[in-house]
Structure 1
Amino acid sequence: MNHRHFKLFKPYGYLSQFQTNAKHEINKKFLGELHDFPEGTMAIGRLDKDSEGLLLLTTDGKVSFDITSSKTDKEYYVQVDGEITPDAISQLQNGVTISHKSETYFTKPCKAFILETHPDFPERTKKIRDERHGKSTWISITINEGKFRQVRKMTAVVGFPTLRLVRIRVGSITLDGLEMGSAKEIANPLS
């Protein structure tokens, strides 16, 4: 079988799935509204409804399994509330304790640093508060794990809650060349 692979710039407000049977999600937005994907396409990992950015999709379950493993780095640009401190960045780099499935979990060490310039992302459909409400900082966080809402929990634990989260890279695949809401067919991400 010839499998197909895609990269998508997931906008804010969309669920990383194609349909649901849950009554509480009946009026939600799904990936199939953005692009006509072939039957059997699945999201590789997820971005929650409030997160944006690079989402890989495939018709090959093995590719999905390999990319969601801890072998693959995922990089996020994160706008946090306030002017983040060097100490908070150091805590993120060394790992922090977050809650996961009613238990505590210590995150693996990761790459984290303050971005020198603000990324040039399109305006989000739901406005983020502006400078009148206080300063914010853009940082980069690269992890190779992916617990539920992990990056948001990590920044909150160090005292700088996430305002906007955009995944920009999975392995060597980046958002480059995509406009928000668009998808592009790519070669096998593992080759």
Structure 2
Amino acid sequence: MPQLILFNKPYGVLSQFTDRGTETARATLSDYIDIPGVYPAGRLDRDSEGLLLLTDNGKLQARIADPKFKMPKTYLVQVEGDAEERALSKLRRGVELKDGWTRPAEVERIDPPGLWDRDPPVRFRKTVPDCWLKLTIREGRNRQVRRMTAAIGYPTLRLVRWSVGDWTLDGVKSGEWIAG
């Protein structure tokens, strides 16, 4: 039976088990998960947080990660500015990025979610408002959500992947994992 791990990746952790990128060691999955033979099904940027799925089954890994399967990925996104409905409707139609048009996204404004504290905290500025969005996409380009919110004029301040398909972070604390 294939093993599936639901990991709540903290900010600053690489989505890989080793760090070959710099002379200074950065936090990796091996600092949190000591299970041989599992590998990430997809990626989550170092400066993003949230759900990262790991498995020992290549077919399941491909099903989760390959955009051709259009598995929905839902993100809780704190953006700089007070996002207007007109801008959000652009996301619902798809926006043009340097690597082409995105597929339409599902997006809505939400109240600030009750998330764990981030270390380091998101920079707060009294004179610049922010708001939270719940955004679902069915593709997975490099830094796509950040590029999408920037394309409509609202840069991302904090990005938390909440779910992939039917798997969610519900009940999984930052830096912890559960078997799925």
> Where do 1:38-187 residues align within 5 Å?
39-70=36-67, 71-99=70-98, 104-115=99-110, 117-186=111-180
Q: Once superposed, what is the RMSD of the aligned Cα atoms?
A: 1.2
- After superposition, what is the alpha-carbon deviation per residue over 1:40-62, rounded to whole angstroms, capped at 9, x for unaligned? 21011110000000110001111
8 A contact 1:20–1:26 mirrored in 2: no
| Contact residue 19 and residue 26 of structure 2 kept, 8 A | no
- Cα distance in 2 for partners of 1:52, 1:173 equals 15
The letter for the 2-side match of 1:12 is Y
For 1:170 and 1:25, how far apart are their aligned partners in 2? 33
Give how far 1:183 is off.
Answer: 0.5
Which one is further off, 127-136 or 81-90?
127-136
How many residues are paired up? 178
- C-alpha distance in structure 2 between counterparts of 1:21 and 1:156, whole Å: 30
Residues of 1 paired with 2:171 and 2:121: CA distance?
24
CA distance in 2, matches of 1:15, 1:88: 31
CA distance in 1, matches of 2:176, 2:127: 32
- The residue number in structure 1 matching 2:7 is 8
2-structure distance, mates of 1:106, 1:139: 20
For each residue in 1:69-116, what CA deviation from the matched residue of structure 2 results, as whole angstroms up to 9, or x when unmatched? 3331000000000100111100111101112xxxx310001101111x
- Could you say if the C-alpha distance between residues 25 and 9 of structure 1 is closer, same or farther in structure 2, counting changes exceeding 3 Å? farther
Per the alignment, residue 189 of structure 1 pairs with none
**Once the 2 structures are TM-superposed, how far is the Cα of residue 34 of structure 1 from its aligned partner?**
1.1
By how many angstroms is 1:131 displaced? 4.5
Q: What's the offset of the Cα at 1:26?
A: 4.6
Tell me the distance in 2 between the aligned counterparts of 1:74 and 1:112: 12
Question: Distance between the aligned counterparts of 2:122 and 2:150, measured in 1?
Answer: 17
CA distance in 2, matches of 1:65, 1:109: 22
- 1:79 is paired with a residue whose SS is strand
For structure 2, the residue ranges without an aligned partner over 5 or more in a row are: none
Aligned-partner residue type, residue 64 of structure 2: I
